[in-house]
Structure formats: C-alpha cells, structure tokens
Amino acid sequence: MVRVQKAVVLLSGGMDSATALAMTLKEGFDVIALTLDYGQRHRREIAAAKRVAAHFRVREHRVVSLDLTAIGGSALTDQRIPIPEGRPMQEIGRGIPATYVPARNTIFLSYALGLAEAAGAAAIVIAANFVDFSGYVDCRPEFYRAFQEVARLGTKRGVEGHPIEIRTPLIEMSKADIVRTGESLGVPWALTWSCYHGRAKACGVCDSCQLRLKGFREAGIEDPLPYARPAAKNA
C-alpha cells in the first residue's frame, strides 16, 4: 500500500491560499490546514478559512493564536495606522506598504515547520506570490530558498537527510493565472475573503481588493464577492 504524504498548508482564507489548498489536495496530499490568528484587524478572513477548509473537507484544520500586535509596525495589526486605499495599480508592488507585517511569513513558516516535523509532514505549502503582489519582502523567491535551508539545517528531519519541503506553487503566477487555476479546481470564491477591512462588503480599493479584482477581470471570470465600490472604478 502506498503511504499518503502529509502537507501543512497555510490557509489565510484568501483567494491565493484557497487555490494553493486545492492544488495540494489534487496532488493527493493528506492536508493539515493551518490558520494563524495573529491579531489582524478583523475576523472575517479566519471565518473564511474555516469555510474553505470545510468546503474541501480537510481532515484537520488548526486555528492557532499568535499575537503579533505586541510587535506592531503594520496597518494590519495596529488600528492607528491607516490602510492605504485607492493607490494606482502601477504603484502597487513598488516599495513596502504600511500593510506589511514585520517578519510575518518567517514566524508563520517557523510555526508550520514545527507542526510539520511533529506531524510527520513532508511539505509546507504557502501561497506566496511575487508577480501581482503588494511588495512584501517575505514573498520573494529568494526568501523561500533561504527558508528551505533553515528547514534543512534546523530540524531533526533535515539533518537526517529528509528535509521538509517548502512549496510555493503560486510564486510566479499572475492573479489571473491563480483565478483560472482555482476555477478549474472548484475553489469556492464566494467563501473567500481578501479585503484588508472586515466590513459587510469588501472595500474594493485597498491593495488586496484591487489585485483580486484585477485577477478576476483579466481572467474573464466574475468575482462573486460584493464590493462597496464598483469594480469598474478599480480598472
């Protein structure tokens, strides 16, 4: 009997992580979904992660609290820092925005690495993207290559010659590519949440909303989420 490999998938509840989850399941992995409640501005993305995990009937979904508000320095963890809105698309991805959370992906991957080793997982999957992105430094391919070395050198599995693989299946995909891939895998877009705000409707003008809308528009697929401002204004 062939032994099914396990993978820890970081699931934020957004369109990217939902697509990465669907891709990992299609590959036949036994998935442990990991959602980090780090003190972000709202609870909607955590609720979205739970909905997505339930939709795909993920065997195990862990929601773990890691309070990053004490670190501060980000509009996503400090209500006093305003979230950028209405930036021209050509400016998004240039420079590091106020929504960057200091060392967030390093912290998330470190927790996932410990979980993966303890659970006997062969891989960690994170939906980082370096094409249509907000400019976060911890979404770059070189960061993940470096963290792969951390996994090799800093774990029992790694030093014994069986390092946990750090997988970034979306790293070089455009948002349109992500939408097309997710659509083909049955990702329930209406259950996901990408907006930096936690309002009744997605704002449509924060960087995350604009990138999401761009992806759906370029893929020629309608985004089922309701927006406070029409998508046409974000073209």
pLDDT in tens, 13-55: 999 999 999 999 999 999 999 999 999 988 899 999 999 999 9
Whether residue 43 is contained in a domain is answered as yes
Angle (CA) 216-77-15 rounded to 5° is: 20
Confidence label for 132 from pLDDT (cuts 50, 70 and 90): confident
Whether residue 233 is contained in a domain is answered as no
Whether residue 106 is contained in a domain is answered as yes
* pTM of the model as a whole: 0.94
Whether residue 113 is contained in a domain is answered as yes
Whether residue 214 is contained in a domain is answered as no
Whether residue 45 is contained in a domain is answered as yes
Whether residue 93 is contained in a domain is answered as yes
Strand order in the sheet with 165-167: 60-65, 30-37, 6-10, 123-125, 165-167
Rounded CA-CA distance 129/136 in Å is: 9
Confidence label for 93 from pLDDT (cuts 50, 70 and 90): confident
In total, how many domains does the chain have? Answer: 1
Whether residue 187 is contained in a domain is answered as no
For residue 230, what pLDDT is reported? 60
Please report, for the domain that includes residue 48, its CATH number: 3.40.50.620
User: Which amino acid makes up residue 52?
Assistant: V
Domain hosting residue 164, numbered range:
6-175
Per DSSP, the residues of 72-111 read --STTT-TTSPPPBS--GGGTTSS--TTPPTTHHHHHHHH
Per-residue pLDDT for 92 more than 90? no
Confidence label for 233 from pLDDT (cuts 50, 70 and 90): very low
